[in-house]
Every structure is written in structure tokens, then in C-alpha cells.
Structure 1
Amino acid sequence: MNKEKNIDLLNGKPEDKRAEIKEALLTVFELEDNLFKTLKREESLFLSADVLRHPLIFYYGHTAAFYVNKLVLAGLLKERINPNIEAISAVGVDEMSWDDLNQAHYEWESVAKVSQFREKVKAKVLELISELPLEMPIDCNSPWWIILMSIEHQRIHIETTSVLIRQLPIDEVCDSSFFPACKEYGDAPKNEMINILGGSITIGKEKKSRYFGWDNEYGIHKADIPNLKVSKYLVSNQEFLEFVEAGGYKENHYWTDEGWGWRSYSQAEYPLFWVKKEGEWYQRNLTEEIPMPWSWPVEVNYLEAKAFCNWKSDVTGKSYRMPSEDEWYQIRSISEIG
């Protein structure tokens, strides 16, 4: 897999920066193209991997449509490339609303047309990268901000689309050398609580920041964090199995009201990417199911994590909870994570 790097907006020569942005654009399109190549057949793009999300064909067109819609809005693109795709692929689904998606309202374009659209958009943005005047530093008032924002938006969707592909039936996907799986796993080490020294943390971005940021990243937040006790390791699949086997998904008193509402709606009995076959546990990765990697961190949502903490508090007689964002930054600042 290609490694992506953040683009320095404050330092560097304009022509070098132009080349950097071109490379970033080509890299992100290549990565996304290879992600969709993990699908075995075109029909897979019209499947809804998650009932709360559009079919994958939407996301295949969405990231390219974002470039066009933002460039048109900024006056940098005078003519649209495919108005229908740019309209139908413009708006996603509100993940906080569990019933707002009506598939009957959509008539999707063919895979071939969306693929052609993506290529035309890439070519047009490459043309702009070659021709737009570029002055350093780059800030939110620069026309280059639109291109950088679109690249970052595409990176986000590569991650979220990979989760949707992971939710498709396993026979809808094929192996890809572009996304090699980790082969290191075994029994989980014993987890224990360790002391973490408190301190002062500062998070957020100044207006003149070195790297691109979304609007919710700006502004400065400071906090003083007291000494903490935290688990030495992230909660593993093996540790979380105890909660599953204890019937944690069936006991509503471990869940918040929101959490129990989600569990009742989803009918979850264990984490999303756990698979049980012939009495054995497996984990669904992007394109394969592997014997459960018990030492890997468990992949759950926040509601499941809170329920696990409540269960662990109940069975041990000690108080466990999720760390706050401020606490997480303090933990990261003095650990090997960062």
C-alpha cells in the first residue's frame, strides 16, 4: 500500500508544493481505485453493505463529485462534468438517524459511467494543479485549499468505504496484494492497570497551521489531567470474549439507553466483525476471514465499549470507564503510541 503524508502548507517552494499536491492526488485516487478492485463483480457495487448506508456505487462516485461540486462553488470550474452523478452522489446519510434512507429515491448510474466520470474528474483536477497560480503559504483563502480539502475528504472515505466492503458477504470480495493483512497474532498478554502521570494537554489548531484541518479542529483547548490508572494494553478480542460469553449483549443494565437502543435495533450478539463457524471464532478482515486473532484489539463501537466497562465494573467490584478525549491525549503524550 502506498504511504500518504501530510502536505506542509507553510514551508517549501511553490513548484515543489505543486508537485507534492499532484502526487497526493494521484496516490489517493490509486488507493481508492484499488480498494474498489477488491469487489469481485460490478453488481457488488449496488449492494447495501449496511442498511444505514448507500450502496457502494454512491461512494464510488461521491469523492469525485465532491471535487467538482466544491470547485464549481469556488468558481474554479466553469462547467460540470456529469451533472447527474454530481447531484445523486452529493449527499450521504446522517449516521445519527437510523431510518432516514429510502433506496427507492435513487436511480444509480452504471459502473462504467461512474468510472469514466472519476477519470475525467482526476484529469480536470490535474489540469488545475498544473495551471493554478500557487503562492506560499497556503491558507483557507487560497484556491488550493479546495483541492487539499477534496483530497482529505477522499482519504476519509477510503477508510469508511473499507468498512462497508468489510461488511459485504465474503464471496463478494477477492484478495488484493495492495492491502496485505497483518500476520502477527496469538494469545493476548494479561492486561493490567498501570499508573499514568497527569499533566497539561493542549489540543487544536491555530489559524495559521502547518497542515490542513477541518473546521472543528481549529481553536485551542487546554486541560490539566490528574494522575490516572489505565489498562496497559488496549482491550483485546480475548478479553472482550469474557463479556460476550457472560451474556453481556443480552443484559440491558450494562448498556446506556442509547446503547440498548442500538443493540436492540442491530440485534448484535457480539462485535460486528466476529464470525462464528462450527463452534469456532473467526474475524472478518477486508477480504478474508481468519482464525480469531485473540491478541488484537477488539473492534467495537463506543456504545459496546461503555457496556463492556460497566460489565467489568460489575464483576470485579472496581470502577472502570472509557477515558475522556483529554485523558487520551495525556496517555498518548507519555506513551509509545504517538
Structure 2
Amino acid sequence: MQSILSSQTDLLKNYRSIRAQTQHLCDPLEIEDFVVQPVMDVSPLKWHLGHTTWFFETFVLKPNMEGYKEFHPKYPLLFNSYYISAGDRWSRENRGQLTRPTVKEVFEYRAYVDEHMDRFLKEVEVDEELGRVIVLGCNHEQQHQELFLYDIKRILGDNPLCPPYIENKRSVKKVEVKTNWLSVKEGVYEVGYEGDGFHFDNEEGKHKVFLHEYQIASGLVTNGDFLEFIQAGGYRDHMLWLSEAWDWVNENKVSAPRYWSQEDGGEWWHYTLNGFEKIDLDDPLCHVSYYEADAFARWKGCRLPTEQEWEVACKMYSPNVLSSANFVEDNEFRTIQTGDFDFFGNVWEWTSSPYTAYPYYNPPKGALGEYNGKFMVNQMVLRGGSFGTPRNHIRPTYRNFFHPHLRWMFSGIRLAKHI
């Protein structure tokens, strides 16, 4: 366990801190906000609270704490997500049908498991293998903290009242950003995680890739950049779109990024977690699908970077998370102008790479082996984190992934091109 955290005391401190952050994200909400499921991709917020608690109960307490009594015999059915090896699951699309357990009961479940985790980590010597499971559970909860924000934005953003999740005054500072091209020479590079710190199994193993010479944009595509695409008829030009993407545009009548709206043919506005706001053209673009990102890149005469190109450029030009990067701890809850390369924070960046296994990929045995590998089909990789990501959760090798039509997450665009 020394390779992950310096001591068992740090393990407990980290656990408490992450669980407290989840509570912090809940504090602005009303009780009614926790129970809604507008579409299958969105889970009721109380389900996130129960599921992340179920993880620690199932994989830490039940198999390792002598005399531990399960909080409720039916909760494993309700709060298991996709771990077939861990037992039966309530169907995802029906999570919003359940008024019980109540939100109060779910918080009682969290308190019960927290109490036992606290006692367990104080009284039981944790070996390295179990320590890794606990650290995985903490990182798993951090992932759900971000999903929690995606889902509450979808729940509130589709409400005609456009209620804010939280009301933070917008940063008045304007940063002059001039995007240019960062060059990477042809050569053999190493990608993938190597080291002793925490990482997900899909980041393994470190391997060599050959890259042709390319350039990657020094900044993210802005709202103003994408508005030019809209005004130029980008959503109506079938030549810019992949066939499947063109079907998606027409079937769903897509004409702007998620949460954008135009007031009587005039100014553009969008819903943010801070409420309904006028779009700042200089802010990084958010809430576009892979389909839209790819079409925009074609319109610009460019392309999306591969995930290998993104990682190599990030390590070359901005390997460390900068203090100016926009993460969830900054409490902006929207994209902002940072003045740096924005490889980390603000928005997850679509790449042109399908989500597949690296060479030497070897998922763990048992239920935790289902964490990543089973999703390596029909999804695209995103890199870099967002304004909803915890700052200590991101690294250059982190591989996020979503289906190409989705855009309720905090997703944006960085361009690349051949030389």
C-alpha cells in the first residue's frame, strides 16, 4: 500500500475527504432533485449516493470486516450497476421508478457504511491488495461525483424554470487567448501509465507508438468558433457529417450544442449550472457529441487528434496540472478562459480513437475486472478532465470514454492536423 498512499491513516483521510466532497455537491439541492430520471443515461442522484456506498460495502466491508451486518438485504440489487459477478441488478432504465428507499434512507445507508469504514480502517491492518481496492473505490466515487453534476444539469436544465444548481458570480477576468499550432515531430513515442501511483487498468500498459509529424491546437475550440460553424450552415451540410452522424442530426433535429438556445433569432444563451446565461463567445465550447466535434473539425479543414497524439502533446507541452486549470474545486461550474493550454480541466476533449485495449492489458480477476474492459466497444476516447473533475483525479494517461452521440457530459474540442 505504500506505493499508493503513505499510510493507513492517509487512506482513511482520503476516504473521508472524498465522501465529504460528495456531500458538498449535494448541499445546494432540494429533496425533489434526488429522485428524477428523465432518460436512461441519467441516474437519479440518490442512486449515485447508494451505488458508491454499495461499492465499499460489497468489496471492502462484507468480505473483510468480521461480524459486519449488511445494511439492507435488497440494496445490493438496487445499487449494483453492471457487475454481473456481484449479483443481480435492477435495470438501469427503471432506476427512476423507485420512490423507496427514500433519500433520507439512502443518506442513512451512507452514514452506516461510513461509520463501519471508519472503524475498519482504524482497527484492521489493510494489506496492499485491499488498499488498492479502497483507493479504487475512492476514485470510483470521484467519477460518480462528476456524473452527479452531468445528471443534475440535465435534470435542472430541461426544466422550463431553468433553476440554477448553484449561483456563483461569473469570473469577470477576461484572458486574451490566441490559439496557435503546437508541432510534434515524427517518431516513436511511449504512451500509457507507468509508475506506482493509482491508475485505472485501462491505462496499462506503457507501450510504443509511431506517430507521423502533426500539429495540435494550443487551445480549445470556443463558443465563438462553433457559432461560426452554425451560422455557416454546418448542421445542414451533409458533406461534413459521417453517415451515422447525419442520421443522428436529422432524427434528433440537432441544430446547436446541448443547452444552447437563441432568443427570437438574436443573442445566444445557454443553461449552465449557475442558471441561464448569455453565451460568452470566448469561453471554451461544451456539450458537443463526437459527431459534432468531427463535423466541426472537417469544416475547419482539420481533424480530431488521436488519443496517442493528445497524450504525447500533453506530456511535451503541458505535462503538469497548472494552478489556473478549471476543476470542480474552483467552483466555477462552467467553462472559463484560463490563458493556458487547457490540456487539463474545462472540458473533456474528444479524440478520434475508439476505446480499445492497450497492448498487455490485463484486467483483474473477479467482479472488479468488469470495471473497464467490458465497455471496449462502440465508444470513443476523451482526454483531459473538465470543470466537474476533481483536480487530484486527472493525469495525462487518463482515458475517459463515451458513445459518440452523447453530449450531456462536459465535452469539447481540440483540433489537430497533418503537416
Query: Are 1:163 and 2:154 an aligned pair?
Result: no
Query: Are 1:175 and 2:175 an aligned pair?
Result: no
Query: Are 1:268 and 2:260 an aligned pair?
Result: no
Q: Deviations over 1:266-319 (max 9, x none)?
A: 433211143434532234332323321222221223221111112223xxxxxx
Structure 1 residues 266 and 161 mapped into 2: Cα distance closer, same or farther (>3 Å)?
Answer: farther
User: Whole-Å Cα distance in 2 between the matches of residues 306 and 73 of structure 1?
Assistant: 46
103-112 or 279-288: bigger deviation: 103-112
SS in 2 for 1:205: coil
Query: Are 1:327 and 2:309 an aligned pair?
Result: yes
Structure 1 residues 263 and 38 mapped into 2: Cα distance closer, same or farther (>3 Å)?
Answer: farther
Query: Are 1:10 and 2:3 an aligned pair?
Result: yes
SS in 1 for 2:317: coil
Which of 261, 269, 275 pairs up with 1:288?
275
- In structure 2, the partner of 1:33 is 23
SS in 2 for 1:101: helix
Query: Are 1:57 and 2:46 an aligned pair?
Result: yes
SS in 2 for 1:201: strand
Which structure carries more helix by proportion?
Answer: 1
Query: Are 1:128 and 2:116 an aligned pair?
Result: no
Q: Deviations over 1:16-62 (max 9, x none)?
A: x12211121111111111212222x2111122254422222211211
Which of 174, 178, 184 pairs up with 1:196?
184
User: Whole-Å Cα distance in 2 between the matches of residues 110 and 252 of structure 1?
Assistant: 48
Please tell me whether the aligned partners of residues 294 and 304 of structure 2 are also in contact (alpha carbons under 8 angstroms).
yes
1:260 CA drift (Å): 3.1
- In structure 1, the partner of 2:220 is 234
Q: Deviations over 1:210-241 (max 9, x none)?
A: 21222222222211323212223211111111
- In structure 2, the partner of 1:69 is 58
User: Whole-Å Cα distance in 1 between the matches of residues 216 and 197 of structure 2?
Assistant: 31
Please tell me whether the aligned partners of residues 235 and 298 of structure 1 are also in contact (alpha carbons under 8 angstroms).
yes
- In structure 2, the partner of 1:143 is 130
User: Whole-Å Cα distance in 2 between the matches of residues 250 and 51 of structure 1?
Assistant: 28
Please tell me whether the aligned partners of residues 193 and 204 of structure 2 are also in contact (alpha carbons under 8 angstroms).
yes
Structure 1 residues 70 and 100 mapped into 2: Cα distance closer, same or farther (>3 Å)?
Answer: closer
User: Whole-Å Cα distance in 2 between the matches of residues 252 and 45 of structure 1?
Assistant: 40
Structure 1 residues 332 and 11 mapped into 2: Cα distance closer, same or farther (>3 Å)?
Answer: closer
User: Whole-Å Cα distance in 2 between the matches of residues 32 and 273 of structure 1?
Assistant: 25
- In structure 2, the partner of 1:253 is 239
- In structure 2, the partner of 1:101 is 93
Q: Deviations over 1:192-220 (max 9, x none)?
A: 445333444322235xx421222222222
Please tell me whether the aligned partners of residues 283 and 293 of structure 1 are also in contact (alpha carbons under 8 angstroms).
no
Given the two structures, how large is their TM-score scaled by the length of structure 2? Answer: 0.65
Aligned-pair identity (%): 22
Number of aligned residue pairs = 306
Q: Deviations over 1:162-206 (max 9, x none)?
A: 1111223354444267xx8654447x7554445333444322235
Please tell me whether the aligned partners of residues 193 and 230 of structure 1 are also in contact (alpha carbons under 8 angstroms).
yes
1:264 CA drift (Å): 4.2
Structure 1 residues 84 and 9 mapped into 2: Cα distance closer, same or farther (>3 Å)?
Answer: same
Q: Which amino acid aligns with 1:212?
A: F
285-294 or 258-267: bigger deviation: 258-267
1:88 CA drift (Å): 0.7
Q: Deviations over 1:251-271 (max 9, x none)?
A: 333222332344345433211
Structure 1 residues 126 and 266 mapped into 2: Cα distance closer, same or farther (>3 Å)?
Answer: farther
Structure 1 residues 143 and 258 mapped into 2: Cα distance closer, same or farther (>3 Å)?
Answer: same
User: Whole-Å Cα distance in 2 between the matches of residues 297 and 231 of structure 1?
Assistant: 13
Query: Are 1:21 and 2:11 an aligned pair?
Result: yes
1:153 CA drift (Å): 0.3
- In structure 2, the partner of 1:119 is 111
Structure 1 residues 28 and 267 mapped into 2: Cα distance closer, same or farther (>3 Å)?
Answer: farther
Structure 1 residues 176 and 26 mapped into 2: Cα distance closer, same or farther (>3 Å)?
Answer: farther
Which of 284, 291, 294 pairs up with 1:303?
291
- In structure 1, the partner of 2:204 is 218
Given the two structures, how large is their TM-score scaled by the length of structure 1? Answer: 0.79
Q: Aligned Cα RMSD in Å?
A: 3.0
Q: Which amino acid aligns with 1:114?
A: V
